[in-house]
Structure 1
């Protein structure tokens, strides 16, 4: 990021020019010298040595906190039921469906393959024993623990590469090191460790790339640009919220390109062709390459999952034909006219159903119905679910003929001997949707003939394609009005026995209009049409499979709107108002409760507010002719700390517009960014304080008109000492408090030891839903 701000003295700017000190040097020059001294810490080798020692110590502690007691508990915990199961499916080559991209799950499968796990255990239930089922669960958990430990190291490197002092680096990394939420999420078979690590790596790589801005198109420049793109790809290939990292880096790149476009830029103006090269390079490294990496993981996903499995139901029949051992396709039967069938809604699994009861005269909102026979969705197999397929005409010439795509049919309800109909009457719940009912056969072939005609429109079907059971997913389109038969999960009132509403949806395109024929009830079990014929596994182009899976993933992701006892809203995350219960054991009173370190989170959240206040105060001062910051301090505050603040904002605020279930772990990437802001702002505060003190000392010294004795400290040494000493004191105090918070909530993070009622109650600081509190 780059923000231009006017320069001036520490005090109010003078219109006539800067005031000079005794030696004729301006205050700005003195300030620049002082800040350079702080950033240099002579000799440079000593500074590097201090950083290396602190980095090594932080990394060792990160591995200790993540791997300590990782074998406990030795049973399935929380969402390990999902991601452990997916690893098993990969190892068995069994097709499954998940709303998250494959990269993180592929890493777990790779670990399982390395340790010789065959995927026999499917992680079905929380509490299932790993020991009894001979599962190498410690190896699986070691992957997120490794990435979680390295995330602490990368956090330190981000600060180091950004030019911050050792105390600032230690503070930012220490907040991650001692955070219970980061520890808890990286000790289990979960995806967030991969997500946060990739996000942190993207920030580090971009910073290293940006530092090479004066060496464009060099080998190192290209290396860090491509590595930034790869990290971004790993981020979004783990979870779709990884898109937020693209927004972070993309925003910084746009600002960078805007500066390059400036004809008055300090490094010299770029010609438009040169600017085009810069734009193209960034587009290639940060958009095209990440997308290709993203596609690559899906190619690996499809290449491994070649067998039919629990994910088949989420895909089209054409996709399922690419999987071996597909039971649904092997049982598919071509449907003929006059067959009696049962029709099932693909998403809600409800059967098309009717019974003798009729719609009420008036609904609760006062609207009038047709009082026709009810047509509903019923969740259980029943004779009232049987419908006979009749041709559009009255003759029997269609007997024995296969039904094909786009054929017009009628459906006769066999129990009540009535014909399915839709007409221009509002449905019970949707005034804009058409009611479905039935009419007598005489009316169906008389004055209501047109309203009983329906088109069979096979999903992705070809002209004249035959309609089949199970595999022939279709939409039933009412011919005159062109509405699609549709249902939803909201139950009707008692007058319909709380069954599902069936109505005509004017929006034909949505996949929620899709149905399938489960069986032909009129066909005997030994009929020749039921004979199973061995089918050859087909192939589909990769991009067609990818697009289909993307559509299904996005749709089901958007459907995750149901309430959850541990779901939380974004406004509660920075203040850590509540957590998530992961695991409990009644006998030992042990529990794992996903919760951050309250002290660390509250400090980081407070610093975010302080940073925003400093920026607002600085802008207000500049408008009033006051320049309270030197050039270097303002540049770092706006550019470096501002970049970290941007990362926090882009990883936090988008959740406010999401309609899906949200949990505390969604805040972890934003929390990491807030820790970077905390470390950066701590250095800013103490550096500025030291600047003020040193300027005051210089002024007093000039006023005395005397020489400083040789044994006194130089200005450089005194300034560095003041700034680092204050920063170390602040870092020590903050991390001591944070370490106390980490230790206090340690039993809830590591799952042991068990706590007494009194000990549990002492930890219920806010709305924490802790177990064994009584």
Structure 2
């Protein structure tokens, strides 16, 4: 957060004694300072630009080399499909084949995989269908695919180091934070496979680094470097959210810091001088453009690339509207669409669940389990398989001679169940599972043409259809709306009891706008083979505006993302993650007893999680002390604790706490960005704990408190006065040794080799981890 720029501690004798400056800027929270300190900050920044800081440079070089070794070591093992590589490897193949697919995640990360495949000349012939499929037998350049996340994962480690470096922390603190990510088994395991999280975490770390660099230039607003780092922050944020939608948490983190920064700029009593409203408006506009508009434009750009590449029909067609599918070449649905005539026999299929509209002679029970009474009418259900009981004849409103006439949009029709010779009907009786929804049943024809005629009328509403548009099979997706009661025919996946043979419930949904009300005609069994309607005409690929395609895809992505609520054997709750209570089995091989088990370094995670609690305790204790008139911290230490460390803690909270509000499937890998932020907090607290009481020195000019002009060339980086770096180094050495020990102990589960015997597997079940081959 705010810069640690040499604050002035107020002594009892009111004498101000300046201390050596060091900028630990991390967010837009500005700590109080006087004009002399601003001069010092500027001098320090100038000196930093010319300072070499060889110890930091050597350290980051060694750490980067180690990061590449730990990520690329044995990356070719195993030589078969592992866990979610079945998804993201498949998507890369679809890009290379230009075949349309659907996924709940934005395209940026998947495009990177496709780019790597294109670089090595891969044609996308392998579709990663099953975990365990051989890469060697199918001639897949899988090492090149895995190299992309490994590269980004390796680069994440020096970015973590650089975040601490740019924030002004000492070398031990920088190394500890980087080591917690460098030797973390979860970060390593997730970056050695064809998965998206390496891209997400790297872009999130870059957004923090770029914003810190931007904020450190707050004394030189609107300069070239100020704009550069502000725009790079926006670009990094766009990459985060263009990889996964949880990247929104990075926007909240940076946005919170920006809001605090703008609030400080608005303060008329600022020590640096107040800004006029026009000048404040410039600051606000610059941040809005760089951090909102620019990321959004890049976000749109990746979707434009996505649409431009995926020009051929593919497995993702079913998720899109017929209008969208008409923009794809070789689309089966539009190519095989047949115009439907009155008195055709048709099979109606639900778009979402793929269940057929079905009926059979069995009847609803007199009473349901909750005591409600049914109509005891003939059951109308959803059935997943082709069957004669799925056939319905489409009947016109009246008995006029309409043979050979096409059915059109918004016309009133009736549906006769052919096998039982009954007419489809809905009425004001509660459905089996939904008391607020209407029951669907059928009635004999003599009743259908008598008093209950109106209850058999349904309006056929083609989705996005035009008035008078012809109703077609496959492409004519529609809602069947009961005319008298205005409810839409709807089904869901919860099976009915045994009295309905566990088939799907069909009922009338009062929410007409719900997308799951959509059906389509799958087949016209009775159409003559010599019918002119079967003659296929040459179809031209249509085009629709980009934004229209984008909005449709966004709606589908959000809907299906939120629908990921089904149980998974390795799903976990957020409270599990900081304590690393369980992991995820990625891959096993019975013959060699090898396995890849996704799990963090327990020692590193428990340390980082503990210090998060320690940080909260320190802040609470300090606030309580201040309430009682006890000032235990000097101004600069408190500024760094609240601002710089506080920014890291904010990043952790914003990347962790929102998961408690989600109802979808969650896994351990969702905690990786928050874990990176906790590593930053750990390094910052290491420095705070070993920062002893400052002593008087002549950093600015002479002892005794007499102020002098800042030296023209300050050292590039000074330790805090009185700080015992030997103790810091000793503590850092102990922490790193423990972390390396944990990493090495769990290394066989991360890299997938060597295989472990029963005793070795049992020794690694620290918290009852559900490891394989434990018997």
Q: Provide the TM-score with structure 2 as the length reference.
A: 0.92
Tell me, in whole angstroms, the C-alpha distance in 1 between the residues paired with 2:414 and 2:616: 67
Tell me, in whole angstroms, the C-alpha distance in 1 between the residues paired with 2:575 and 2:309: 41
Structure 1 residues without counterparts, runs of 5 or longer: 11-17, 697-701, 703-715
Alignment map for 1:481-492 (pairs within 5 Å):
481-492=485-496
Shift of 1:67: 0.5
Shift of 1:34: 11
Question: Match of 1:353, SS?
Answer: strand
Name 1:712's counterpart in structure 2: none
Pair 1:50–1:547, CA change in 2 (3 A): same
Pair 1:756–1:331, CA change in 2 (3 A): same
Question: Match of 1:518, SS?
Answer: strand
Name 1:756's counterpart in structure 2: 757
Name 2:743's counterpart in structure 1: 742
Name 1:64's counterpart in structure 2: 69
Question: Match of 1:675, SS?
Answer: helix
1:578 to 572, 576, 582: 582
Tell me, in whole angstroms, the C-alpha distance in 1 between the residues paired with 2:529 and 2:244: 46
2:426 to 399, 422, 425: 422
CA contact (8 A) 1:450 1:480 kept: yes
Name 1:710's counterpart in structure 2: none
Tell me, in whole angstroms, the C-alpha distance in 2 between the residues paired with 1:376 and 1:717: 76
CA contact (8 A) 1:9 1:627 kept: no
2:270 to 265, 272, 276: 265
Matched, 1:313 2:318: yes
Name 2:461's counterpart in structure 1: 457
Tell me, in whole angstroms, the C-alpha distance in 1 between the residues paired with 2:469 and 2:720: 83
Q: Deviations over 1:174-196 (max 9, x none)?
A: 10000000000000000000000
Name 2:17's counterpart in structure 1: 29
Name 1:647's counterpart in structure 2: 651
Shift of 1:40: 8.7
Matched, 1:299 2:304: yes
Tell me, in whole angstroms, the C-alpha distance in 1 between the residues paired with 2:9 and 2:294: 46
Matched, 1:19 2:22: no
2:440 to 413, 436, 457: 436
Name 2:247's counterpart in structure 1: 242
Matched, 1:224 2:226: no
CA contact (8 A) 2:491 2:505 kept: yes
Tell me, in whole angstroms, the C-alpha distance in 2 between the residues paired with 1:720 and 1:591: 50
Tell me, in whole angstroms, the C-alpha distance in 2 between the residues paired with 1:563 and 1:446: 49
Q: Considering only aligned residues, what root-mean-square deviation do their CA atoms show, in Å? A: 2.2
2:543 to 539, 546, 559: 539
Matched, 1:387 2:372: no
Tell me, in whole angstroms, the C-alpha distance in 1 between the residues paired with 2:768 and 2:279: 57
Shift of 1:588: 0.4
Q: Deviations over 1:696-751 (max 9, x none)?
A: 9xxxxx9xxxxxxxxxxxxx999767521111111100110000000000000000
Tell me, in whole angstroms, the C-alpha distance in 2 between the residues paired with 1:363 and 1:673: 53
Name 2:693's counterpart in structure 1: 691
Number of residue pairs matched by the alignment:
737
Tell me, in whole angstroms, the C-alpha distance in 2 between the residues paired with 1:396 and 1:719: 95
Question: Match of 2:690, SS?
Answer: helix
Q: Deviations over 1:321-355 (max 9, x none)?
A: 00001111111000111111000000100000001
Question: Match of 1:390, SS?
Answer: strand
Q: Provide the TM-score with structure 1 as the length reference.
A: 0.92
Matched, 1:102 2:86: no
CA contact (8 A) 1:81 1:124 kept: yes
Question: Match of 2:629, SS?
Answer: coil
Shift of 1:503: 0.2
Query: 272-281 or 739-748: which moved more?
Result: 272-281
Question: Match of 1:758, SS?
Answer: helix
Question: Match of 1:323, SS?
Answer: coil
Tell me, in whole angstroms, the C-alpha distance in 2 between the residues paired with 1:253 and 1:718: 29
1:211 to 210, 216, 222: 216
Tell me, in whole angstroms, the C-alpha distance in 1 between the residues paired with 2:218 and 2:486: 59
Tell me, in whole angstroms, the C-alpha distance in 2 between the residues paired with 1:46 and 1:534: 70
Matched, 1:590 2:590: no
Name 1:709's counterpart in structure 2: none
CA contact (8 A) 2:9 2:17 kept: no
CA contact (8 A) 1:583 1:591 kept: yes
Shift of 1:440: 1.3
Shift of 1:8: 9.5
Alignment map for 1:390-401 (pairs within 5 Å):
390-393=395-398, 395-401=399-405
Shift of 1:444: 1.2
Query: 266-275 or 542-551: which moved more?
Result: 266-275
Tell me, in whole angstroms, the C-alpha distance in 2 between the residues paired with 1:636 and 1:128: 52
Tell me, in whole angstroms, the C-alpha distance in 2 between the residues paired with 1:729 and 1:665: 32
Name 1:477's counterpart in structure 2: 481
Question: Match of 2:56, SS?
Answer: helix
CA contact (8 A) 2:582 2:769 kept: yes
CA contact (8 A) 1:34 1:691 kept: no
Shift of 1:618: 0.7
Runs of 4+ in 1 over 3 A off after TM superposition: 1-4, 7-10, 30-37, 43-47, 716-722
Query: 723-732 or 757-766: which moved more?
Result: 723-732
Tell me, in whole angstroms, the C-alpha distance in 1 between the residues paired with 2:377 and 2:200: 55
Tell me, in whole angstroms, the C-alpha distance in 2 between the residues paired with 1:451 and 1:34: 80
Name 2:348's counterpart in structure 1: 343
1:611 to 612, 615, 624: 615
CA contact (8 A) 1:70 1:187 kept: yes
Tell me, in whole angstroms, the C-alpha distance in 2 between the residues paired with 1:542 and 1:588: 51
Shift of 1:528: 2.3
CA contact (8 A) 1:2 1:256 kept: no
CA contact (8 A) 2:364 2:378 kept: yes
Name 2:726's counterpart in structure 1: 725
Question: Match of 1:691, SS?
Answer: coil
CA contact (8 A) 2:584 2:668 kept: yes
Name 1:602's counterpart in structure 2: 606
Name 1:377's counterpart in structure 2: 382
Shift of 1:397: 2.2
Tell me, in whole angstroms, the C-alpha distance in 1 between the residues paired with 2:363 and 2:724: 82
Shift of 1:290: 0.2
Tell me, in whole angstroms, the C-alpha distance in 2 between the residues paired with 1:217 and 1:261: 17
CA contact (8 A) 1:340 1:386 kept: yes
2:498 to 485, 494, 499: 494
Tell me, in whole angstroms, the C-alpha distance in 1 between the residues paired with 2:130 and 2:424: 43
Shift of 1:767: 3.1
Question: Match of 2:358, SS?
Answer: strand
Question: Match of 2:375, SS?
Answer: coil
Tell me, in whole angstroms, the C-alpha distance in 2 between the residues paired with 1:563 and 1:85: 23
Matched, 1:555 2:556: no
Pair 1:46–1:282, CA change in 2 (3 A): closer
Q: Deviations over 1:67-94 (max 9, x none)?
A: 0000111111111111011000000000
Tell me, in whole angstroms, the C-alpha distance in 2 between the residues paired with 1:764 and 1:353: 51
Alignment map for 1:21-170 (pairs within 5 Å):
26=15, 29=17, 48-170=53-175
CA contact (8 A) 1:577 1:766 kept: yes
Name 1:629's counterpart in structure 2: 633
Shift of 1:533: 1.6
Tell me, in whole angstroms, the C-alpha distance in 1 between the residues paired with 2:74 and 2:146: 11
Matched, 1:409 2:413: yes
2:367 to 362, 378, 402: 362
CA contact (8 A) 1:32 1:630 kept: no
Tell me, in whole angstroms, the C-alpha distance in 2 between the residues paired with 1:523 and 1:230: 56
Tell me, in whole angstroms, the C-alpha distance in 1 between the residues paired with 2:199 and 2:771: 27
Tell me, in whole angstroms, the C-alpha distance in 1 between the residues paired with 2:612 and 2:528: 71
Tell me, in whole angstroms, the C-alpha distance in 2 between the residues paired with 1:522 and 1:534: 24
Q: Deviations over 1:98-149 (max 9, x none)?
A: 0000000000000000000000111111111111111111111000000000
Query: 293-302 or 518-527: which moved more?
Result: 518-527
Pair 1:163–1:336, CA change in 2 (3 A): same
Tell me, in whole angstroms, the C-alpha distance in 1 between the residues paired with 2:364 and 2:718: 89
